[in-house]
Every structure is written in C-alpha cells, then in structure tokens.
Amino acid sequence: MMDFSIRIKNVTRNDAGKYRCEVSTPTNEGQRLEENTVTLEVLVAPGVPTCNIPSSVLSGTVVELRCQDKEGNPAPTYTWFKDGTRLLGNPRLDAHVTNSSYTMNTKSGTLQFNTVSKLDSGEYYCEARNSVGSRRCRGKKMQVDDLNVSGIIAAVVVVALVISICGLGVCYAQRKGYFSIEDIEDDLQVGHEAPWQI
C-alpha cells in the first residue's frame, strides 16, 4: 500500500480481478462514503503449445492436427506451418500449397485434411500468438503412405490357401476312415464306462 494506491510486484494471473477502493470523509452530516472499482486484467504471453501431429497416416483418409495453449491471455490465435512455410487459412489462395483439401481453424488450433495425400507429407508445427507474444511447438514429420493393396491381396490369398489346405486335409482324413462314425461312437462308449468295467 502506498498512500491511496496499491502496487503489485511480480503480478501474476492470480492477481487479475476487480479491486474496489472505498474512501470515507467526515462531513457535518456524518461520514461520507465514496467508492470506485478497477478491473485488473493480466496479459500473459502463450506458453509452448501442445501439438498433436501423427507421424504416419494413410492416403485418402481424414487427418486432424491439433494445437493448444492454456496459458495465453487473451486467448491466442493459431497458425500452422509446413516445412517452414506458413499455411494460409484458405488453401486456394496459397501458391505454395499443392493440396487444397485442408481447413484451418485459427481459434481452436485444428488443421484438418479432408482427404490427405502424399503431397501433404512434411514437417509441421504450430504457432500460438496473442498481443503479448508468441510461441511455437517443435516440428514433427508427418508421413503419408499409400494403402498397400497388393499386400492386402497377398494376405487374403495366403489365408484362403491355408483354409483350403486344412479343408482338403479333413476330407482326406475322413476318406481314410480317421473320422468314421463307428470310431467316434466307440470312443464315446469307452469314455462313459466305469473304470472297473474296462
């Protein structure tokens, strides 16, 4: 306290709020009360934002990259960068971008690819900025891979061959009499007899 003032040293976010000053002065009628309210807003630069960037995705899928800061006041706006180049809010206006299938929300910090392609592979990072300052997250590589159709077909063929071989084996065993009904009935009867009858 300094006379009629308050000095806050090392102000923090917790000091934000409404402060009310009351002044009372003696008069002939008694005490006269005056008051004034001051709102203190503490401005805070963003911290290093948290960025969620997948390392590997499949071509043609929907992919969302997320960026969030919880420290900045006022709330920061977000900008995404690919390989060091700033992405514009409207990809159709950006001459550096070959794929125009993304949408960026500068308020929520999301970058969504509606149909991601191999051209979207690269290093991505996000910057959070407000009137006090800006910070960015560390860049992370996102690799877009094509769906391996030939690998899937090969796996299906292998599984079909294994099932066919197993089926042929069962048919062969049945023809040779390994699965005859008489043997199964004999096995069941032996299993139900008392130990002293065997």
Average pLDDT of the residues in 14-41: 84
User: To the nearest whole percent, how much of the chain has pLDDT over 90?
Assistant: 40
**Taking 90 as the threshold, does the pLDDT of residue 131 lie above it?**
yes
Residues 60-88 have pLDDT tens digits of 899 999 999 999 999 999 999 999 999 98
Q: Report d(CA 101, CA 117) in Å as an integer.
A: 9
Tell me whether the omega of the peptide bond preceding residue 74 falls within 30 degrees of 0, making it cis. Answer: yes
Give the residue with greater pLDDT, 138 vs 2: 138
Quick one: pLDDT at residue 157?
76
Q: What is the CATH T-level fold of the domain 50-145, as seen in this structure? A: Immunoglobulin-like (2.60.40)
Domain locations in the chain?
A: 50-145
Quick one: pLDDT at residue 107?
94
Count how many Cα atoms sit within 13 Å of the Cα of residue 160 in the half-sphere of its side chain.
Answer: 6
Number of residues that this document lists for the chain: 198
Q: Report d(CA 107, CA 89) in Å as an integer.
A: 11
Quick one: pLDDT at residue 180?
61
Quick one: pLDDT at residue 72?
92
**Taking 70 as the threshold, does the pLDDT of residue 89 lie above it?**
yes
- Report the C-alpha dihedral over residues 126, 127, 128, 129, rounded to 10 degrees: -160
